[in-house]
Structure 1
């Protein structure tokens, strides 16, 4: 499965701070349908992600009935991304 969307980068200031982009609601139904096949626990969905010229593997995190994409610091540096910026993300889920 391949999904593409644009979203805003936001920062969570928890005990382990992270930057995320929230998957649009209209794409979450397709992800929910595959979660049972690929999730390894807690609803996490392993994915390959591409932003610009940067590719990496991570897992989507379930949050408030949707999914969020964690953005590593190395990815943000490589692509010049900061909180509040809008970016286009490609997600690849091996089903």
Structure 2
């Protein structure tokens, strides 16, 4: 839905007042305002002056009841990996 607002604080309050958080969209001529609002929105993805955010190289996922973790991008593959450190003795150490 499209809802009008008077202040950024009101817009953020309205947008975050939901149990979902897959994607939000901000359309503005002021890039600083868009970034500022994006940092405050409780969402997994943000379309800033863009109507489509899907990209195979980018992580896809939400927050709240819109899911946990990510699929796609480097973040998506990390769920299937684990990190292991192996310390090997230096053969030249005396």
* TM-score range normalised by the length of the shorter chain: under 0.3
Query: Which has the higher Rg, Structure 1 or Structure 2?
Result: 2
Question: Greater strand percent: which structure?
Answer: 1
What TM-score do the two structures reach when normalised by structure 1? 0.25
Question: Greater helix percent: which structure?
Answer: 2
Higher relative contact order (CA 8 A, sep 6+): 1
